[in-house]
Amino acid sequence: MQGPRPVVLSGPSGAGKSTLLKKLLKDYENIFGFSVSHTTRQPRPGEVNGKDYHFVTREEMQKEIAAGEFIEHAEFSGNMYGTSKGAVQAVQAQNQICVLDIDIQGVKNIKKTDLNPIYISVQPPSIDILEKRLRDRKTETEESLLKRLTAARVDLELSKEPGLFDLVIINDDLEKAYSELKEILLEEIKKTQESRKS
Ligand SMILES: Nc1ncnc2c1ncn2[C@@H]1O[C@H](COP(=O)(O)OP(=O)(O)OP(=O)(O)O)[C@@H](O)[C@H]1O
Ligand SMILES: Nc1nc2c(ncn2[C@@H]2O[C@H](COP(=O)(O)O)[C@@H](O)[C@H]2O)c(=O)[nH]1
């Protein structure tokens, strides 16, 4: 079943994708649905299996990838991440706007599919601010933090490719960043709200 046009949120780890996404899901409950990815990383305190991620072993994930169950998958900072066909279908079956939170490798792989999402990159005002946000979040070891900062530099370079993203949001002031996000999504939001009335 084909739902409304999906949305891809990408950008360096710590840039604020989940923060923006949580606001969107809260303000537009039932309009947006989150594509729950699979990952082999360990859950963080408070993360719920099946809601934040499907937490799986590398063996389980490799088996499902081999069975053709994934739209895209990537290795990020020492762990596997991927979007299953089922994750997107579950949201589209509800006629909701499906939001994917994926890294830049995922963006490039989604571009090869017929998903046709709106591509948005959320970026930090600077690498120093990104590092501070990641440290303050207290989710990373020193090793994984350094890996994520290295990946962030690559992400910010690759994101400069013309046409890769429909919009780049610099997440300095959160409310301003959120307004920019809502503005680009306004048309899809309206269409989805209208379709509920008919
Ligand atoms: N505009 C902002 N100003 C200050 N802090 C922010 C802002 N946006 C997000 N943060 C904080 O920065 C940290 C990283 O944000 P968040 O977890 O949303 O990033 P992310 O892009 O989803 O990261 P990941 O890809 O690792 O999941 C969080 O602690 C969040 O509260
Ligand atoms: N290519 C994909 N990237 C994904 C997916 N799910 C999440 N991610 C990205 O991984 C990093 C790290 O996430 P974290 O939760 O460990 O901080 C971040 O950039 C996500 O956008 C996915 O299914 N495919």
In angstroms, rounded to a whole number, what is the distance separating the alpha carbons of residues 72 and 81?
9
In angstroms, rounded to a whole number, what is the distance separating the alpha carbons of residues 150 and 184?
29
HSE (side-chain half, CA atoms, 13 Å) at 55: 9
Identify the residues whose C-beta falls under 6 Å from ligand 1: 13-19, 133, 136-137, 171, 174, 177
Residues identified as active-site: 44, 137, 148
> Does pLDDT of 3 surpass 70?
no
Q: What is the pLDDT of residue 1?
A: 44
> Does pLDDT of 166 surpass 90?
yes
Task: Measure the CA dihedral 173/176/4/109, to 10°.
Answer: -40
CATH class of 7-189: alpha beta
- Rounded to the nearest integer, the mean pLDDT of the chain is 96
Mutational test site, ligand 1, from 18, 81, 138, 179, max ligand atoms within 8 Å of CB: 18
Question: Rounded to 5 degrees, what angle do the CA atoms 38, 41, 153 make?
Answer: 95
pLDDT tens digits along 132-164: 999 999 999 999 999 999 999 999 999 999 999
What's the whole-model pTM score?
0.97
pLDDT tens digits along 91-141: 999 999 999 999 999 999 999 999 999 999 999 999 999 999 999 999 999
pLDDT tens digits along 171-181: 999 999 999 99
For the chain, the domains span: 7-189
In angstroms, rounded to a whole number, what is the distance separating the alpha carbons of residues 184 and 118?
9
Q: What distance in angstroms lies between residue 95's CA and the mean position of ligand 2's atoms?
A: 24
